[in-house]
Amino acid sequence: MTRIRVATTWLDGCSGCHMSFLDIDENIIQLFDRIELVYSPLVDFKTIPENIDLALVEGAVSSEADKEEILTLRSRSKILISFGDCAVTANVPGMRNQFSVMETLSRAYVENSASGQILPSGSVPKLLEYSRPVHEYVAVDLFLPGCPPPAGVILSTLSDLIDGRPPSLGGKTRFGA
């Protein structure tokens, strides 16, 4: 049986959704009989491969690097899932949207900085004007809200997709928790 090629990534998020994924505990052994993790922060591949069957995207699109990552991932994936509140709504990263990029940067690097007090240039990806949900940049096939989505919902959604069933969230996860 050919295994389904799965990719995961985190953009502007806290990695909590990936931690919740790992919380499926021993189920991961059976799951990995069916899937192959071809790209993920949890494994050691540096570039996005071609022919991805299923992509899980955690985090909002906040920087030029996020944007490039999501565009490439989308172009190489059959099914793309917005994974967690940051991907779905921009959530906590989006709280900076009330302020200009310059206000945000100076708050972090000048006002609250004990030393240095230099704005970053070149060393980190350039922030976009707004931190936005994934679906404002690319087509998204499935939305999995939650902060983070519960492990059980992640497992049942992946199992449904692998078995070719339409996944049903049916109120098992919600925004904020």
Partner 1 sequence: MRYPAFLQRIADRADVQPVRILTFSINGQAVSAREDETILSVARENGISIPTLCHLDGLSERGACRLCIVEIKGSPKLSPSCVTLPRQDMEVITNSDRVLDYRRKILELLFTERNHICSVCVSNGHCDLQALTTELGMTHVHYDYLHTRHAVDASHERFSVDHNRCVLCQRCIRVCEEIEGAHTWDVMGRGYLSKVITDLNQPWGESTSCTGCGKCVQVCPTGALSEKGKSVAEMTKRRQFLPYLKLMRGDESR
Q: Does 107 bind partner 1 (CB under 8 A)?
A: no
**CB of 79 vs partner 1, minimal distance in Å:** 15
Cα end-to-end distance, the chain, whole Å:
36
Site string for partner 1, 69-88 (x = CB under 8 A): -------------x--x--x
Q: Which residues from 133-152 bind partner 1, rule CB under 8 A?
A: 133, 135-136, 140, 143, 145, 147
CB 100, min distance to partner 1, A: 11
For residues 127 and 104, is the Cβ–Cβ distance under 8 A?
yes
Can you read off the two tokens belonging to residue 112?
């609250």
Query: Which residue's CB is nearer to partner 1, number 38 or number 154?
Result: 154
Where along the sequence are the contacts to partner 1 (CB under 8 A)? 82, 85, 88-92, 94-95, 97-99, 130, 132-133, 135-136, 140, 143, 145, 147, 169, 171, 174-177
